[in-house]
Structure 1
Amino acid sequence: MLTINSLIDAQVTFMQQWLRKQAEPLSMEAWQWFGAQPLDKYISSDDLQRLLNDWLLDHPLSEVMRADIRDILHSIIYHPANDNVPLSELIDDTQVETLANYVGSHEQQRNILIHTLVGNDTFADLLTQTLYHAINDFMENTLEKAGGVGKLMKLGRSSFEKATNRNLDEKLQTYLHRNIKDLAHRAEANAQEHLSNEEVSRLLVTGWARIKEQPINHLQTYLRDEPNNSSIDHIEASIQQSYNRLRISPYLHSLVAASVDTWYRNHQSDTIAQVAESLHINEAAMMQLSTTLMPIINDAFESEWLTAHLREMLQAFYSQPNIKDSLSFSNQ
């Protein structure tokens, strides 16, 4: 005689077999249904804000993630492929030309750059000190080797300092600083006058042409890869420090909120499928994903936890008084 327990066992087996056969079409039908739903039916702007804040900004990078970042950076930077691939593989000539023309066409920014490089006081001070040390070193070495003439020159220097009540070194530095600053300002004015937009663009393009055929691994010369002095460790630590500072910054939170609100206003009337399509997730992609996940789905159907839940659900169904009383099954 058929018992409730044997019926439940048969139903559980049937449901598992049926689900295995129907898993692929069911997954696609589920996606079609889900994709047709409007975004604002299930997700609000506040939901997205909480997701970003609770899942991303409220937590520092984990040690596992930091280690992964370091390892991935090391693998990319020191990959053997970098030995034979030129820099031009990363950046196209037209990109450099576009950037050069853009920089060259902004006269105000160009003049600020020239002033920063040539016309600022720091540059003049640095050049003054460099020339002073060179002249002073030359004079000291010359006087030491000049014998009597050197002694005469030293005497003349001493007499000058007594007569003017000023140190010759100080006088020399003042003279150099005054004249070099004037020369730097003249050089800046000449550069701003004669360095045309075309010249700026040409300099950038010419500079790129000189380095573009160098292999990518040339960048490694600017890095250290030593156990206790790794550039990658410093880069990762800097990323971590910047992220930790920014993620608790009210400034970043306000920008994130504004970005989410803007995005949501643009897409709240879209269906979920339309939003997914903007990320290149379409029905073909979902079908490929479904095929890839099918072994996991089949294992889930065969798992003990699903079998137990199916049996528990059916037992609860048959235990209902109206069902139990209307059936003439044996309780064994």
Structure 2
Amino acid sequence: MEKNPKIEQLIEAHLAFLDHEFSQDDTIENEFLYFYQWFRKQPLKQIWSFEAINALLQKQILNTPATDSLIQQIAEHIRFALVHPLNEMTQIEDIISVHTIDRIALYISSKSAHRQALIKRIVNNPAFSSMLTELIHHSIQDYIDNSVMNKKVPGVGRFMKMGKSVLESVTDSNLDDTVKHYLQKNIIKISQISEQVINQHFDDNKLYHFQANLWHKIKQVPLSSVKNYIEINDLTNTVAMGHDIWDNLRQTEYLKQQVHDGIYTWYCHNQDRSFDLIMQDISINESLVQNELSALLCPVIKHMISSEHLKQRARVYLEKFYYSEPALSILKS
């Protein structure tokens, strides 16, 4: 395309005008706010559809695996937080309010029905019954074999052995089998007693005071003590295992459907609401935009203008305009 000197002058003048206008601090800030004032009044359904939002999240969150670099960064940030020098000087009560702990304690201790139902499920589980049987059996066996009286009172050891022999001859089996048989036969009754004892030990009042006492024991423990329970040098493997769980979960039809239905429910609730109301739900309001976001984004826009990126992109469209048929017709006339 042949260059027209007059059109080139117009383009340069136009670019100089834009460069001057947008180099002014007020211009960028005002245009940013004007855009926000327009954007905040738009209903969600006028800008984005449910299908577009769902497709974006499905693609970027569920269909895109995390990179090795991201996994390493997560592990490094966790390690950095755990070894930070402030942990030595910061106690648990410095970052967790006692009022929050008290509310949690009151809430947990008040859930009697849920707690009792959970205890019932635990004590009636075959695994619990098996563990309880083994525990009682070993306790009885240990008492017979290592009785305190057996060690301190002369002749009692011989008496205990004699009693054991008599019991085995009467039952026609050894003591271990006899005890195990008794426990297995009566495990349901023992489990019921266990349930009663646990519920008595963890009633509302006792459970509340248990949590309160626990808080008083740990509230002045420094945060650095967390390192005692986490293998810092193994964080890369730990985070990788957590990622493996997520990597499998994100590919399941279950999670895809959950995300789809969750987005749909949210969209139906919000589609007629304006963006300023939606943004208020996540604490973004006009004051934040004016005082914080504009201060954050305006320097980026200013740098883009000063680097002549905007001028280069503007030239492309100005050339299209000035060399277009309508513009050429006006210039010729």
Tell me the equivalent position of 1:294. Answer: 298
- Return 171-180 or 3-12, whichever deviates more: 171-180
Distance 1:112 1:295, change over 3 A: closer
Tell me the equivalent position of 1:89. Answer: 94
Distance 1:164 1:203, change over 3 A: closer
TM-score by length of structure 2 reads 0.78
Aligned pairs (5 A) from 1:252-267: 252-267=255-270
- The structure 2 residue matched to 1:307, chosen from 301, 305, 311, is 311
The answer to whether the 8 A contact 1:132-1:176 is kept is: no
Q: Does 1:285 align with 2:293?
A: no
Amino acid at match of 1:291: A
1:286 Cα shift?
A: 2.4
Tell me the equivalent position of 1:23. Answer: 28
CA displacement, residues 248-279 of structure 1 (integer Å, 9 cap, x when unaligned):
22222232223222222222111122222222
Amino acid at match of 1:121: S
Structure 2 distance, partners of 1:313, 1:117, is 72
The answer to whether the 8 A contact 2:144-2:160 is kept is: no
The answer to whether the 8 A contact 2:133-2:180 is kept is: no
Structure 2 distance, partners of 1:320, 1:224, is 68
- Return 76-85 or 120-129, whichever deviates more: 120-129
1:159 Cα shift?
A: 9.0
CA displacement, residues 153-185 of structure 1 (integer Å, 9 cap, x when unaligned):
989978986786523443354457668886664
Tell me the equivalent position of 1:98. Answer: 103
1:71 Cα shift?
A: 0.9
CA displacement, residues 102-132 of structure 1 (integer Å, 9 cap, x when unaligned):
3333333333455577774134223134325
Q: Does 1:211 align with 2:218?
A: yes
Task: Provide the secondary structure at the position in 1 that maps to 2:23.
Answer: helix
Task: Provide the secondary structure at the position in 1 that maps to 2:104.
Answer: helix
Distance 1:123 1:114, change over 3 A: farther
Distance 1:220 1:40, change over 3 A: same
Tell me the equivalent position of 1:225. Answer: 232
Q: How well do the aligned residues superpose, as a CA RMSD in angstroms?
A: 3.7
Distance 1:218 1:126, change over 3 A: farther
Aligned pairs (5 A) from 1:135-284: 135=143, 138=146, 165-174=172-181, 185-192=192-199, 196-226=203-233, 230=234, 232-284=235-287
Task: Provide the secondary structure at the position in 2 that maps to 1:255.
Answer: helix
CA displacement, residues 190-214 of structure 1 (integer Å, 9 cap, x when unaligned):
4435754222222222222222222
Tell me the equivalent position of 2:16. Answer: 13
Structure 2 distance, partners of 1:322, 1:301, is 29
**Number of residue pairs matched by the alignment:** 318
- The structure 2 residue matched to 1:43, chosen from 48, 71, 85, is 48
The answer to whether the 8 A contact 2:41-2:275 is kept is: yes
Structure 1 distance, partners of 2:318, 2:82, is 58
Distance 1:307 1:205, change over 3 A: same
1:302 Cα shift?
A: 3.9
TM-score by length of structure 1 reads 0.78
Tell me the equivalent position of 1:125. Answer: 133
Identity rate, percent? 24
Distance 1:155 1:251, change over 3 A: same
Structure 2 distance, partners of 1:158, 1:320, is 113
The answer to whether the 8 A contact 2:40-2:274 is kept is: yes
Structure 1 distance, partners of 2:332, 2:118, is 94
Task: Provide the secondary structure at the position in 2 that maps to 1:269.
Answer: coil
Structure 2 distance, partners of 1:194, 1:24, is 64
CA displacement, residues 256-314 of structure 1 (integer Å, 9 cap, x when unaligned):
22322222222211112222222222233223323333332223224455333333333
Amino acid at match of 1:274: L
Q: Does 1:318 align with 2:322?
A: yes
Q: Which runs of 5+ in 2 are unaligned?
A: none
